[in-house]
Structure 1
């Protein structure tokens, strides 16, 4: 559900007004409140998944001591790259929800988020890099499927999933290289 057409903007007595103008009342104001609620709900779910699927310090310490390929000079940038990708997930999910209100697509975003976030957790808990490679590949395939589904609903929404589709194979390749170095 997008913003209403101009003809649908009516002044409703007692409705709050934004910026003192009458343009934001009637149908527009409830849409705006709904969009803000959706954004907050998506953000809360993302934060809860990230907190829940974070590895323990001891497990992550094991992961940090593993050898990395010598060409991996951009490792300090990886957290920033993932922060950007998560931001793209957030905006994409919000755009898709406000455009369609489809719960099946939101479930698709949730599954993608769980797969992405569980990558490091699975590696750290199993202490097997091959497990992370598999989770990374599954997440990438699911990301492609979700992108195709989202493309039918929101052009910008699917474009915001492209950074993940480009970065995920890099992470999977790095993990595969780390397997060879840490046998």
Structure 2
């Protein structure tokens, strides 16, 4: 029998594959952008997001296991999926449109969705809500960084 954590992890992995929908010219565009001097942690960003995605999937698993197959739980799973879609969309959409403003908007929207998910799951599981805290802490940093890059690269706003 397929376990719920396998399905949740599999869906998260499949959605994450969409982040690879970028071309070499998209990567080149992003590499040439100026960055804030204080952005010394850029090499760690993939690892940070990996931890955040694992925490999010674990949170979703905990919510599913509390009340599997109920309409409220399915709604919460939809919110988790929406959060992951917005989070994953940041890179390919910003790169494809070559717009830091779009990246900032997607980042801020992801933060708002995560707040919504956190408050929605809080009544079901405090631990599941706490697993979303890394997203809530990191997402504003990423969004602020992208917003700051607009000022350094006004031609790519």
State if a TM-score over 0.5 links the two structures.
yes
Offset of residue 132 of structure 1:
0.6
Larger Rg: 1
| TM superposition outliers: structure 1 runs of 4+ over 4 Å | none
Structure with larger RCO (C-alpha < 8 A, sep 6+)? 2
> Structure 1 residue 63: deviation in Å?
1.4
State the Cα deviation string for residues 106-155 of structure 1 (Å, max 9, x = none): 00000000000001111101100000100111110111011000001111
Provide structure 1 residue ranges, at least 5 long, that are not aligned to the other structure. 1-32
| 1:100 alignment counterpart | 67
The answer as to 2:29 corresponding to 1:62 is yes
Alignment match of 1:156 (pick from 106, 127, 135): 127
CA contact (8 A) 2:108 2:140 kept: yes
For 1:170, the equivalent position in structure 2 comes to 141
Structure 2 residue 132 is the aligned partner of structure 1 residue 132: no
Give TM-score scaled by structure 1 length: 0.78
Task: Identify, as 1 or 2, the structure richer in helix.
Answer: 2
Tell me the TM-score normalised to structure 2 length.
0.91
Instruction: Classify the secondary structure of the residue corresponding to 2:64.
Output: helix
Cα deviation 1:17-64 (Å, max 9, x = unaligned): xxxxxxxxxxxxxxxx6xx61111011111111112433232123212
Check the 8 A contact 1:54/1:118 in 2, yes or no. no
Select 2:15's aligned residue among 36, 49, 57: 49
Query: Pairwise CA RMSD of aligned residues?
Result: 1.2
Q: Tell me if the contact between 1:129 and 1:176 (Cα under 8 Å) persists in the aligned partners.
A: yes
> In the aligned structure 1, how far is the partner of 2:49 from the partner of 2:35?
18
8 Å CA contact retained: 1:133, 1:176 = yes
Retained in 1: the 8 A contact 2:63–2:121? yes
Which consecutive unaligned segments of at least 5 residues does structure 2 have?
none
Count of aligned pairs between the two proteins: 149
